[in-house]
Amino acid sequence: MKNLTAILITITLFLGVLQPVFYVNATPAASDENRLPYLSLSDFLTEMEMDLEQYITLVKELIETGTYTYYLPENASRYETYQNENPYVPYEKVLSFVNVGMDYGFYSNINEAQDLNEISVLVNKNFNLPSLWEPENMVLVSQGRMLHPEAAEQFDLMRDAIIDSGLEIYVISAYRSRGRQARIFADEMELRGRAAAERSNARAGHSEHQTGLAVDILHRSYGSLTYANFQSTEHFEWLTQNAHEFGFILRYPDEYQEFHGYIFEPWHWRYVGIDIATVMYDMKISLYEDFYGRYIVSDVLHNARELIYEHRRNLEIAEQEAAAEEAARIAAEETDVENSRVTNTQSRHMIIGPSTDGSIISDSLDSEVINPVHYRVYLAIFMLIVIYLISTLIFIVIPKIREKKGT
């Protein structure tokens, strides 16, 4: 009973104390489940201890296994409705478009833009900037035209590169204040009507130019956006092939007019950072809303975070199992080596008999390897025989001898 109690106490201590020590690093901390509802891209990457390229690469691997990290269960009915209304749209784009509210009409479901001071901020007809918000520390890039500091630095490098190629570009518009954007839209609406104005201009608070991250580019020889035909120039061709290396993307591509809501603007380039621009270029994602809906929307980041945690847990478990298997293999090999040792390393000699000259003739034989299991069996049998003989001697033979002497 005492032994049984000791065994139960030992098992309890192991399960209650030692096991948590072994697995503490395999699961996320409890506080991770109680994060604020909104999760920015920069916070997410910091928490995951990875850069954007590593994040996108991992997500692509998970997608290949059949898991869409940007599928949000709460949007299931909206996905279905949007797919039915737009059967020609690929399913992965249905997910990303709905995730950023593109299934609603333009200006019909307006939300405040998130991450206002980050270069990944999304501003469009459904995401606007706060009425009193303005960017800070704008940097001059051309006569009276300014950009976000990081965008300005990369634009200068891009402009130098295009000049080195024998071409030249001219900045015709960059940062605009909210007030100026309001005047531009009002003038255009008065001149051409609301519908036409909204196809070529953003309402106040909905323009990327207010962020300081957008720049309109033309060749110097063109003085008007309306007649530029910029998409037919070698300057535009150079930008489509190289702008991503400096963090810029073509913001309103021709083939997505019905989705972004503007006319094709080959002159309008948006700075999103080298990482995002390069990933979009490599993955052939042309529309920023598509990329944003896949990888940056807060709910998608929460979803991706849980999948990445699960992925990492599975990797840790696999590594632990592999280590255990390797340790077992090594232990088995060591046991085999120990069991294979030669029990007698010396040669045995069999005496045949005397030769004609009187010398002894012997035949040298290599020693045999005795299986340790067989050895134990032989030893046990031998010991049983010895015990049997001794017992027989003590309890049968000796008493009989004494009995005879007594008689």
> 3-class DSSP state for residue 365?
strand
Question: Which contacts (CB < 8 Å, 24+ apart) does range 338-347 have?
Answer: 339/371, 339/372, 340/369, 342/367, 342/369, 343/367, 343/369, 343/370, 343/375, 344/368, 344/370
Q: How many angstroms separate the CA atoms of 4 and 25, rounded?
A: 33
Q: How many angstroms separate the CA atoms of 172 and 234, rounded?
A: 18
Count of C-beta atoms within a 10 Å radius of residue 102 = 26
Residue type, 134: E
Q: How many angstroms separate the CA atoms of 146 and 159, rounded?
A: 15
Q: How many angstroms separate the CA atoms of 267 and 265, rounded?
A: 5
Q: Which residues of the chain have pLDDT under 50?
A: 1-36, 345-352, 355-356, 358-369
Helix (H) or strand (E) holding 172: strand 170-173
Q: Please state, in angstroms and as integers, the Cα–Cα distance from residue 19 to each residue in 319, 324, 366, following that order.
A: 17, 16, 52
CA proximity to 339, closest of 307, 306, 372: 372
Q: How many angstroms separate the CA atoms of 215 and 156, rounded?
A: 12
> 3-class DSSP state for residue 248?
strand
Q: How many angstroms separate the CA atoms of 188 and 274, rounded?
A: 34
Q: How many angstroms separate the CA atoms of 150 and 9, rounded?
A: 63
| DSSP label at residue 205 | T
Residues 6+ apart with CB under 8 A from 208: 123, 202, 214, 251, 268, 270
375: its two tokens: 């050895």
Q: Residue 260 phi/psi, 5° resolution? A: -90, -20
What is the pLDDT at residue 45?
87
Residues 6+ apart with CB under 8 A from 51: 45, 275
DSSP characters for 163-218? Answer: HHTT---EEEE----HHHHHHHHHHHHHHH-HHHHHHH-PPTT--GGGGT-EEEEE
Question: How are the residues of the chain apportioned to helix, strand and coil, as percentages rounded to the nearest 5?
Answer: 55, 10, 35
DSSP characters for 239-292? Answer: HHHHGGGGTEEESS-GGGHHHH-S---TTEEEE--HHHHHHHHHHT---HHHHH
Please name the fold of domain 115-296: Muramoyl-pentapeptide Carboxypeptidase; domain 2 (3.30.1380)
81: its two tokens: 């409705």
Are the beta carbons of 154 and 247 closer than 8 angstroms? yes
87: its two tokens: 């059967």
Q: How many angstroms separate the CA atoms of 80 and 151, rounded?
A: 38
Helices assigned H by DSSP within 340-397: 372-392
Crossing angle of the two packed helices 234-242 and 149-164, in degrees rounded to 10: 120
Q: Write down how long the chain is.
A: 407
Are the beta carbons of 226 and 199 closer than 8 angstroms? no
82: its two tokens: 């949007």
Domain spans of the chain?
Answer: 115-296, 370-399
